[in-house]
Structure 1
C-alpha cells in the first residue's frame, strides 16, 4: 500500500517520488499536501484550506 500511496502522491503533485524535499519550499509542499489529502480522503483538497495550512505551518 505504501508504494501505491507514494506513486499517487508523486503523480498528482508532480514531485518525483525519489526527490529530496525541503518542507519550507511552498512550491513543493503545497502540491504534495493536496495530493496526500486526496489519497487519504478520496476527494480533491480545497486549495484555500491547503494554503491556510501552509501559512500556519510557516508561522511556527
Structure 2
C-alpha cells in the first residue's frame, strides 16, 4: 500500500495492491493538484490474503 498525503490540501492519494515484492520498484502517477506541493509518503505491506498486515512506515517528505 502506498499513501501520499498533502498537508496543504488536506488530501491523500495512493493505491493498494498490484505491486509484487520481487519487482523491487513501483511507478505511481498521483493527483496533479499535488504537483509542486510538499508531500508526506507512507508505505505498508500485507500478505496476499490480507491476513497479515505490517505497520505503516513513514518514508519522509518530498517536494
TM-score by length of 1: 0.28
Structure (1/2) with the larger strand percentage: 2
Structure (1/2) with the larger helix percentage: 1
Larger Rg over CA atoms: 2
Larger RCO, structure (CA 8 Å, separation 6 or more): 2
